[in-house]
Amino acid sequence: MKRQYFGTDGIRGRVGSAPITPEFVLRLGYAAGRVLSRADIASPHRDRPAVLLGKDTRISGYMLESALESGLSAAGVDTLLSGPMPTPGVAFLTRALRLSAGIMISASHNPFEDNGIKFFSAEGLKLPDAVESEIEAMMESPLECRPSAQLGKAVRVHDGEGRYMEFCKGTFAKHRTLRGLKLVVDCSHGACYRLGPRVFEELGAEVIAIGNHPNGVNINDRFGATHPRTMAKSVVEHGADFGIAFDGDGDRLAMADRDGTLFDGDQLLFAIVKHRHEAGRLKGGVAGTLMTNFALERRLGELGIAFARAKVGDRYVLELLHERGWDCGGENSGHILALDCHSTGDAIISALQVLEAVVAAGQSLAQFTADLVLLPQILLNVKLAERKDVMGAPAVMQAVAAAEASLAGRGRVLLRPSGTEPVIRVMVEGEDPVRVKALAESIAEAVRKAA
């Protein structure tokens, strides 16, 4: 069934415009409650269906939380409210509390004017497409409130943050410590603003926290994983050993060395995989995406490590890992998966895995990943006035063909529409950075004209 509202990462949009309106979200809560309370989905550990409801720090989260709670209650589903909580924290608590599902209110790395809703299954995994389609179909039915005695209740989860912190800390090697390290931790004024710095402090590090004063409208604003230079500058200013930056909902990671050098998701994934490979505990191969730098695939091959590409999106990386029975994968945007640690991508846990690798080696990130030399890669985002299929336009296809001919098999060209916003992403990869940039810009200009 073709889905009208769900994209690659839940439902997302501008607050106040369809579909992110109170009326729509109320109906969404009701429809989700009806579907998730089915006997084959509802948790067998509870007398009645219950879901966890978390959010990031956007001001619109209050409104959407109330609308979802009302819809779920009308469907006879209990709601456990966690307050601000990273997306992977919602996934963990859903599983730990034996709930039927988890719901996260967040638009991830988007500006505060946007918001969205994503769902997790009882196992802490993103809902299958078929279940999301069922929820959409249920939204076409009338909202019929359950009898008063069967309405859902809402309670506040008071120990969720502490439980999730202990879970994160438990993924760090017991015989290692962060004592002696100074870290800059950039929380993007988002969901990690309280617990993010504390995790590293409790493992022994000295922490300088930045981006940890949310006011409802400053999430992702010049801080966090999508603006990592703020973190990198702070690392140099404070003489820190490493910098760590999360995005607004805590599932995307960027890091920096002492000199402010930034490392993307491909490099961080390589650090984790290299450490596990050297320790003899890497399970299978590694999953990347169509955007993964070819240098990573080539270096892993030299180490005898299998590599496979999924479509762009951490849910597709996750599907590929499950299909292959592997543990490690990720995207160069900073979504990293370590399935022996968590069921979903988790920026705090990913940072701990990277730190474990460099602490064990006694090296900087640059030293530890020196044998991975990334190919120059340019990614341009071309905004469209509306969602429109321009990739098949003759001028765009001609620009792509010309770029591929220029690269002569020593690079890659990739065009793809964003799954969450009206944007065409243009990626060109090759050995000559000047040529790569020029080719990417010529393709981007063709896309703009075709739009």
pLDDT single digits (tens) 322-381: 999 999 999 999 999 999 999 999 999 999 999 999 999 999 999 999 999 999 999 999
What residues have CB less than 8 Å from 290, skipping those under 6 apart? 309, 310, 311, 312, 414, 416
List the single range of 191-200, 242-251, 300-309, 424-433 with lowest mean pLDDT: 424-433
Same topology between domain 11-158 and domain 164-259: yes
List the CATH code of the domain at 164-259: 3.40.120.10
User: Quick one: pLDDT at residue 8?
Assistant: 77
Specify the higher pLDDT residue, 43 or 210. 210
pLDDT at 4: 87
Judge whether residue 42 has pLDDT over 70: no
Which residues face 35 on adjacent strands? none
Look at residue 22 and tell me whether its pLDDT is greater than 90: yes
Q: Given a cut of 90, is residue 85 above it in pLDDT?
A: yes
CA count, 13 A, side-chain hemisphere, 235: 23
- 133 among known catalytic residues: no
Q: Is the pLDDT of residue 451 over 90?
A: no
Q: Could you tell me which CATH class the domain 377-450 is placed in?
A: alpha beta
Buried b (16+ CB within 10 A) or exposed e, 209-232: bbbbebeeebbbbebbbbbbebbb
Distance between CA atoms of 101 and 99, rounded to whole angstroms?
6
Q: Which residues pair with 247 in a beta bridge?
A: none
Mean residue pLDDT of the chain comes to 94
Instruction: Choose the most confident range, by mean pLDDT, from 40-44, 159-163, 416-420.
Output: 159-163
Looking at residue 420, what is its pLDDT? 67
What are the extents of the domains in the chain? 11-158, 164-259, 263-347+364-368, 377-450
> What is the pLDDT at residue 387?
67
Q: What is the pLDDT of residue 126?
A: 87
pLDDT of 1 over the 60 cut = no
Distance, CA of 358 to CA of 58 (rounded, Å): 34
Which CATH fold would you assign to the domain 11-158? Alpha-D-Glucose-1,6-Bisphosphate; Chain A, domain 3 (3.40.120)
Q: What is the mean pLDDT of residues 294-302?
A: 94
Contact 74, 138 (CB under 8 A): no
Q: Does residue 386 or residue 252 have the better pLDDT?
A: 252
- Which of 211, 279, 280, 301 has the alpha carbon at shortest distance from 250? 211
pLDDT of 39 reads 66
Name the band, by pLDDT with cuts 50, 70 and 90, for residue 418.
confident
| Angle of the 347-361 helix axis to the 87-96 helix axis, nearest 10 | 100
Respond yes or no on whether the N-terminal peptide bond of residue 19 is cis (omega within 30° of 0): yes
Q: Are 355 and 347 in contact (CB under 8 A)?
A: no
Catalytic residue among 108, 121, 234, 333: 108
What are the strands, taking DSSP E only, across 198-312?
206-210, 242-246, 253-256, 262-263, 286-289, 307-310
Q: Residue 429 — very low, low, confident or very high, per pLDDT cuts 50/70/90?
A: very high
- The pLDDT of residue 2 is 63
Predicted local confidence at residue 127, as pLDDT: 85
Q: What share of the chain is helix, strand, coil (3-state, %, to 5)?
A: 35, 20, 45
* The domain over range 263-347+364-368 is classified in CATH as 3.40.120.10: yes
Q: How far apart are CA 263 and CA 150, in angstroms?
A: 52
d(CA 236, CA 158): 37
Closest CA to 89 of 186, 161, 196, 190: 161
Query: If you average pLDDT over residues 145-156, what whole number do you get?
Result: 96
Residue 439 predicted with pLDDT over 70: yes
pLDDT band at 421; cut points 50, 70, 90: confident
